[in-house]
Structure 1
């Protein structure tokens, strides 16, 4: 009986799975066009899966080993089951191979089952709770069925009752594993995830690359939408990426806005986009809701507006764009891209930037800075420093990009400290002075692509007039924009964060520093320096050069908690149950450190805004400036780092 029934079950399931695949692809193709290398992506997919995806999964050794056993065993078992039981190739070697694959899958499924006995709050429940049972049934059924093929049991053992039980087990397991990949269910992530890796919208992320700059809108194309209003306005491979979500909740656990009780959960946001892809409501969502927003009140379809349908606007404005969700996602989904795309529509088409957002954007247009300060005061902070200005200097090694901290009295202390360091090292540098404008970071994160592009093009035009080798800035947000986002408009520069440059100066022996004796210190990683640009070591190298042993926070490096100051969050100011900087200060207090080193004016402002008592907070440039040994007698001119000046 089984010899007839098994091929029918397997090939019926495969046929339905193929039909489901075309149906699923049709859903994704509702999105806008996106150029991808179809064949090249498919050929690259196995390596992206085995290397890039597992590089993220391997951070959790338990789940990494579980996934290798379960997924690897399933893929091998499925292929061999089709050969052995579908096509009837009853070869003993194939039989033993199938026994090994199903045993491996069964062991992995046991660990999945154990994890689901008391799952972490971040994991979705619902259909996902049946997945371990389905995995166990699939692997156990085919293991028993294959024992006669391997010659370990006689043909027809157990009689018709066992055959009936195994037939039910096969039907259950095959339905979940094969049909679930394309028709919906927990296994959907396997099919969508594989193709997502093949046709990812940021293919440059793979092979050890980094891609964090936002993709520009073509403002000259009147037919192109200004941002995303409806699910179908996303590109087709973005929709594919949403469908690949495995609902592991790692993004939820990492999100500072969710932890603060603001109405954002990146996992649910992605699942809401999946609901919009096919149409329906969020009533069946089996994970954590947006804080303060009950499940079942939102819904939509590909042709209906997202905001006030699938999600509320304050969900989008809660995001700090810290990229913690993207960093943790094992499926490499781009949450921040999606959020900014939707913000772009709200800002450009609706003019619906909340709270002080509209005023800040108006200030940028009128005064080239978000605070609305008179542009003529941009260099007041340096009135007594005798700084060289590019307009009066033929060529320099370093162009010091000051940023809009020039208008902030607290950040002016950081700028002056860094100038002191540059002069002590004899660096050949200059500033743009009154010609410098805002980099456009905050405009772009708030969705005002038009203002961003206007600022970027004017800055690029200004920079084109001068000769310098590299740009150095104390602001990671300006650093990121200049380094990673101006290139799309013709502005390609070598850009360094000031911590990286100071580490270079120290290594070259250009700074005389005394040992620090001021007590314990911890370091807060800025999101736009760390997760966005991968710079974690240089600031720590600088602090170690001062004789400081950094007491690391539990959430540091790529898992650093955001200060709450990015993405225009202080401007949109969506309320929650607590403030993100207060949570970060709790992280700092847990270390017992008496002092904090920071490397970002936003981080300084947010952390110093925490009510005292709290540790002393200074920018890393201030700690270095404090440690400089002042010469007793007039010094000889210092060596200079002056590589060949570029045009």
Structure 2
């Protein structure tokens, strides 16, 4: 081996261990920022689960975009394999030529991936961040070329100049992947992302079910605050749990959450990607002036700044940003790094509501109504079932068991939704279902209180409802309101309420499939139907097939909108958004009706009272809005 080759080997060994030291030092600095957050359980076994969570759970999301999925596999896979071999060959000072060849092979794979990264960055979509991210392909290419040269250049041809070039290329790449990453550079997401997968704030996301949930139900329930211990949400960056701070650092700024957000599309002052980056800024200290992505609509960059111990509102983010969210979880559904944006938003809302009572719009009035009357609208609970007086609907009693308990929610006070409920009762009676209602004993489940951050009111209402239900004997609950279903099915178990809860679409589909209902040919089957997925039925509970199966059983043609199923567009009616009413350039339901017009739908089929109200509120020519129960009731064989 020539002296030049020997010097090159020693230089790369020195560079490798220097990079390791830089990475360790930088990670300790970054970890100090995370550790400033509140305590959270540390499950060290999560480190063993990282490979599965990375290659299965994370890539399941990434694979929705085949171009990026292949690019990521080539770039990240090649880089990890090459660096592992460098660690063996140069870290351990083996200097084996066959390992150099293997390093070159994986470096070539990485370089192919980098070319695809560069091609995407030539004309990047609006959702991608620019700035230093535009230099990332060149930095990665330098590293890949250095590794490639290391394996391809025969040692006898190594000269001082070529060795210097190789070391310079490797040094540039090593800085990007180590020191640059730990100082907040683009590759920060790779380091934080792996730890985020190990110590995820919602480890139950990686299991099929959580306690009390139906099989296959996504784990979407909010975690209760320990109010008796003084937990009042998040008012400062350091009040997030440490693993939430870690999760913010995992953001790759791909902007998929931005592209999916209904509030951002409507021009309201919310961008989920920027909100996460603002949390990173608050965690480390600084301003948003250097953010290289899309700002909050209507809010220029540079106007917000924060510190770990400083209040988040209004310095780091504006209240309008916090209250624009519909809690639809489209951002969470699209995030390839599995970040929980909605949890962070609700945590901040909790602090504003519980500490200051700072809920905008009609929110305070509704919260007061819930506390005082048990109804969001302040109605007399005795009139909730007046629509059913002529339908011979039985009220449940303590001494008599029933198969199904029908819980209607706040929709029982709404004249439009009463048509849906009457249709549902007609279907249940036609199928001879043994069911009853709570009547005046039914109070609100507290869904809107929790989404508006009033955890105290939610817990009080939930405990009241659980106590009420415990007095009766029933096998299952059916409801036509996905928000009611989600609360009873997923959020009540943490407070002691465990029930088998069905959405009316799934329950009716089961009745038809079992032959308990006879259908005649639909009179309007020549119309074009499209189905709008409610967020709290689809993304929150994973129920996207039952409504479509029911439409198929009714022999109705379905013309899907571009965004459907788990990726359906929000109607704008969740999370208390109609109450806070933050203005934008257009209304979210108008955008959804535009989607329906694009497929030339005559009728939009809905399965949620909020969706019905929001979509029927669109002004001007639009398709007819009909609940799926209304369609089934009209198709019953007389």
Where do residues 101-180 of structure 1 align in structure 2 (5 Å cutoff)? Answer: 101-148=106-153, 153=154, 155-157=155-157, 159-180=159-180
User: Which secondary structure state, in structure 1, belongs to the residue aligned with residue 436 of structure 2?
Assistant: strand
CA distance in 2, matches of 1:474, 1:442: 16
Which whole-Å deviations, capped at 9, do the CAs of 1:295-315 have from their partners, x for residues lacking one?
A: 011011110000111100010
- How far is 1:392 from its partner? 6.2
1:531 matched to which residue of 2?
Answer: 539
Kept in 1: contact 2:180–2:187 (CA 8 A): yes
* Structure 2 counterpart of 1:331: 337
- Show the counterpart of 2:632: 624
- TM-superposition CA deviations, 1:25-62 (whole Å, max 9, x none): 11101111111312x10001110000000000000001
**Residue 102 of structure 2 corresponds to which residue in structure 1?**
97
Write out aligned runs for 1:303-322 (5 A): 303-322=309-328
CA shift digits 1:128-156 (9 cap, x unpaired): 111111111101111111225xxxx2x14
Aligned partner of 1:2 among 8, 13, 16: 8
Query: What aligned pairs does 1:379-394 form with structure 2 within 5 A after superposition?
Result: 379-391=385-397, 394=400
1: CA distance, partners of 2:339 / 2:464: 33
The answer on 1:204 being equivalent to 2:204 is yes
Q: Deviations over 1:4-38 (max 9, x none)?
A: 32222221111011011111111101111111312
Report what 1:571 is aligned to. Answer: 579
Instruction: Structure 1 unaligned segments of length 5 or more: list them.
Output: 631-647
Alignment match of 1:241 (pick from 238, 244, 247): 247
Indicate if the aligned counterparts of 1:52 and 1:208 stay in contact, CA closer than 8 A: no
Q: Write out per-residue CA displacement over residues 39-90 of structure 1, whole angstroms, 9 at most, x where no aligned residue.
A: x100011100000000000000010011011111111111111222343322
Matched, 1:356 2:345: no
Contact 1:397 1:470 in 2 (8 A): yes
**Residue correspondence of structure 1 range 352-501 to structure 2 within 5 A:** 352-391=358-397, 394-501=400-507
Q: Is the 8 A contact 2:529 2:601 kept in 1?
A: yes
- Answer yes or no: is 1:11 the counterpart of 2:17: yes
1:25 to 2, 27, 31: 31
Q: Which residue is equivalent to 1:601?
A: 609
Superposition deviation, residue 473 in structure 1: 0.1
Q: For each residue in 1:292-342, what CA deviation from the matched residue of structure 2 results, as whole angstroms up to 9, or x when unmatched?
A: 000011011110000111100010100000000000000000000000000
Aligned partners of 1:52 and 1:207 also within 8 Å: no
Q: Say whether 1:510 aligns with 2:516.
A: yes
Task: Indicate conservation of the 8 Å contact 2:287/2:306, yes or no.
Answer: yes
Equivalent residue number for residue 184 of structure 1: 184
Match of 2:86 in 1: 81
Deviations 1:256-295 (Å, cap 9, x if unpaired)?
0000000000000000000011101111100000000000
What TM-score do you get using the length of structure 1 for normalisation?
0.95
Q: Distance in 1 between matches of 2:535 and 2:123?
A: 33
Please list, as runs of the form range in 1=range in 2, the aligned pairs for 1:553-564 lying within 5 A after superposition.
553-564=561-572
The CA distance in 2 between the partners of 1:399 and 1:86, in whole Å, is 67
Distance 1:156 1:14 in 2: 29
3-state DSSP of counterpart to 2:595 = helix
1:521-541 per-position Cα deviation (integer Å, ceiling 9, x unaligned): 000000000000000000001
Whole-angstrom CA distance in 2 between matches of 1:398 and 1:452: 25
SS in 2 for 1:532: coil
> Is 1:42–2:47 an aligned residue pair?
yes
Q: Which runs of 4+ in 1 moved over 4 A?
A: none
Aligned equivalent of 1:58: 63
Tell me the residue number matched to 1:194: 194
Equivalent-residue separation in structure 2 for 1:565 and 1:385 (angstroms): 30
Equivalent pairs, count: 622
Contact 1:17 1:183 in 2 (8 A): no
Gaps of 5+ in 2: 1-6, 210-217
Decide whether the 8 Å contact of 2:398 with 2:472 is kept in 1.
no
1:582: which partner in 2?
590
Following TM superposition, by how much is the alpha carbon of 1:376 offset from its aligned partner in structure 2, in angstroms? 2.0
- CA–CA separation in structure 2 for the residues paired with 1:214 and 1:199: 18
Matches within 5 A, 1:193-342: 193-209=193-209, 210-222=218-230, 224=231, 226-342=232-348
CA contact (8 A) 2:382 2:439 kept: no
Q: Secondary structure at 1:512's aligned position in 2?
A: coil
Post-superposition CA distance 1:185-235 (Å, at most 9, x none): 01100110000000001111114452100000011113x3x0100001100
Equivalent position SS for 1:15: helix
The worse-fitting range, judged by mean Cα deviation, of 204-213 and 496-505 is 204-213
Bigger shift: residues 182-191 or 312-321: 182-191
SS at match of 1:277: helix
Secondary structure class of the residue paired with 2:475: strand
Name the SS of the counterpart of 1:390 in structure 2: coil
The answer to whether the 8 Å contact 1:106/1:139 transfers is yes
Match of 1:641 in 2: none
SS class of match (1:614): coil
Q: What is the CA RMSD across the aligned residues, in angstroms?
A: 1.1
Q: In 2, Cα distance between the equivalents of 1:195 and 1:482? A: 33
TM-score normalised by length of structure 2: 0.96
Q: Distance in 1 between matches of 2:163 and 2:99?
A: 21
Greater Cα offset, 609-618 or 303-312: 609-618
Answer yes or no: is the 8 Å Cα contact 1:443–1:451 preserved in 2.
yes
